[in-house]
Amino acid sequence: MGVISVTLTPLLLCSFFLLTQCPIFTLATKFDTGGLSRKSFPKGFVFGTATSAYQVEGMADKDGRGPSIWDEFVKKPGIVANNATGEVSVDQYHRYKEDIDIMANLNMDAYRFSISWSRIFPNGAGEVNWKGVAYYNRLIDYLIQRGITPYANLYHYDLPQALEMKYKGLLNRRVVKDFADYADFCFKTFGDRVKNWMTFNEPRVVAALGYDNGLFAPGRCSKEYGNCTEGNSGTEPYIVAHNLILSHAAAVQRYREKYLATQKGRIGILLDFVWYEPLTRGKQDNYAAQRARDFHVGWFIHPIVYGEYPRTMQNIVGNRLPKFTPEEVKMVKGSMDFVGINEYTAYYMYNPPLQGKQQAPGYQQDWHVGFNYSKNGVPIGPRANSYWLYEVPWGIYKAITYIKEHYGNPTIILSENGMDDAGNVTLSQGLHDLKRIHYYRSYLIALKKAIDEGANVVGYFAWSLVDNFEWRLGYTSRFGIVYVDYKDLKRYPKMSAYWFKNLLRRV
């Protein structure tokens, strides 16, 4: 992999304040970047890292923050590995300056963070928690002080629990106004400094994992598809997705009508996209792969670009799929200045034989596809720690090219990309993350190819800045380019962090 073998023990003495004096930094400069540098990408291309509020902030029940649906969800015994929670996490609430200093020293341009809705509005609406507002003001101000551009995401899985209890949250159309009001407050309060806004992170995950299989908060599904006490996998994911799209569009409308002229920012949405490759060249496998793309990323980007759901979905889901009114179409269509794409991996798809007995309707069932992780006995790529994550760099090229060709070559931000190690790796093992370097290098080379062929990609965000609370995996998964010792929460930049520093050096 073009690296020099090292002994890590002395490296633990390094401080991130002295990066250029660290032995690890000297060695990192020798890492093969695959010919990549800042100059490889278009002028003004932005490199950054990303996190989300519940995963890094801590202070979950302090300084006036109200609970979110994840605070409630993690209380279920066994739902998260080792019954972990985000109550303390990596305490970025108090350590944000340290984390921002690390970013600045690694030559990062931007930080994609999320705002906790219930830290601003503990009840989802109404009374403002000014201590929460003060925290985000401190965070934003220090980012700017250190030359890091803030990219603020308004929602990362963490609906206020108060709204879940009040009217069943995302299942109720009332959430559209409450989200737009929350977004409006953030635009008004932070928009003088924040010029890059995102409404929702991975709304497909919110709808599918929260309401089809119950794996994520609020844990609803039909009894056939998960261990849920209530829910309907055949209808609720589609209702939730519809309300998410309308909430997104309503927030964009508020921004454009009230703030754009003076603040001169931009606003978009972040969509996850696994690349689905046909297992064979056969027509049926190609159809299966296309159905998967339509049900995955098309579910959200298609209405925003074309004003309706993909025809595939309309035909299969039928009257279980909500419809946009003419007024809603006007609000939804064109409601993004950019689209964020979170891309990690790829799978092979095939058309499975029809089953004799039809199961109860469900979002994933509606795809009618089979997943394969190898072809002719050859894995699609090396697997990371997470069961779902394979290193498939050509997948990012195909995913970005697909968005370019099917959706009018919109402005794209590669808003998440990365891989994880096991949570129990030692500090020495964690710092020596050569696999992560290989992953980032191969994906950035593939991304550059898509850009060189005309894809309008303007930024790239590595997931994640620091090891953190990884949802159902708790602290058994480490995605960070910075190692966090969970005993004392000290930060240690990994080799991949120094690889980025070398890649992004300004000459």
pLDDT in tens, the chain (507 residues): 433 333 333 344 344 334 444 544 445 444 678 789 999 999 999 999 999 999 999 999 999 999 999 999 999 999 999 999 999 999 999 999 999 999 999 999 999 999 999 999 999 999 999 999 999 999 999 999 999 999 999 999 999 999 999 999 999 999 999 999 999 999 999 999 999 999 999 999 999 999 999 999 999 999 999 999 999 999 999 999 999 999 999 999 999 999 999 999 999 999 999 999 999 999 999 999 999 999 999 999 999 999 999 999 999 999 999 999 999 999 999 999 999 999 999 999 999 987 766 788 999 999 999 999 999 999 999 999 999 999 999 999 999 999 999 999 999 999 999 999 999 999 999 999 999 999 999 999 999 999 999 999 999 999 999 999 999 999 999 999 999 999 999 999 999 999 999 999 987
Please report the sign of the dihedral spanned by the C-alpha atoms of residue 357, residue 361, residue 362, residue 368.
Answer: positive
Contact 121, 66 (CB under 8 A): yes
Q: Per residue in 328-355, is it b (16+ CB within 10 Å) or e — as a string?
A: beebbeebbbbbbbbbbbbbbbbbeeee
* Torsion sign over Cα 312, 316, 317, 323: positive
Cβ partners under 8 Å of residue 302, min gap 6: 294, 308, 309, 310, 407
Q: Where are the alpha helices (DSSP H) in 214-310?
A: 236-254, 260-263, 283-293, 299-306
How confident is the model at residue 16, as a pLDDT? 39
| Torsion 152-157-159-161 (CA) sign | negative
Q: Within 13 Å and on the Cβ side, how many CA atoms surround 143? A: 22
Tell whether the torsion through CA atoms of 216, 220, 224 and 227 is positive or negative.
positive
The predicted structure's pLDDT at residue 28: 45
What dihedral angle (degrees, nearest 10) is formed by the CA atoms of 410, 173, 295, 399?
30
How many Å apart are CA 468 and CA 114, to the nearest integer? 14
Q: Provide CB contacts within 8 A for 100, sequence distance 6+.
A: 111, 139, 142, 143, 146, 148
Which of 236, 328, 391, 416 is flagged as catalytic? 416
DSSP 488: T
From 202, 236, 277, 391, active-site residue: 202
Position 7 scores a pLDDT of 35
Structure tokens at 135: 């925290």
CA distance 61 to 205: 25
Query: Directed axis angle between helix 434-452 and helix 495-503, to 10°?
Result: 30
Q: Please say whether the beta carbons of 144 and 79 come within 8 A.
A: no
Is the Cα dihedral 377, 363, 404, 442 positive or negative? negative
- How many residues would you count in the chain? 507
Q: pLDDT value at position 394? A: 98
Is residue 416 among the annotated active site residues?
Answer: yes
**Quick one: pLDDT at residue 395?**
98
Task: Let me know: does 194 contact 259? Beta carbons within 8 Å.
Answer: no
* Long-range contacts, stretch 166-169, CB < 8 angstroms, 24+ apart: 166/124, 169/69, 169/218
Please tell me the distance from the alpha carbon of residue 32 to that of residue 39, in angstroms, as a whole number.
16
Long-range contacts (CB closer than 8 Å, 24 or more residues apart) made by 145-149:
146/100, 146/101, 146/103, 146/104, 147/104, 148/48, 148/100, 148/103, 148/104, 148/108, 148/109, 148/110, 148/111, 149/46, 149/48, 149/109, 149/110, 149/111, 149/195, 149/196
Q: pTM (2 decimals)?
A: 0.94
Question: With contact defined as beta carbons under 8 Å apart, do 220 and 211 qualify?
Answer: yes
Active site residue 405: no
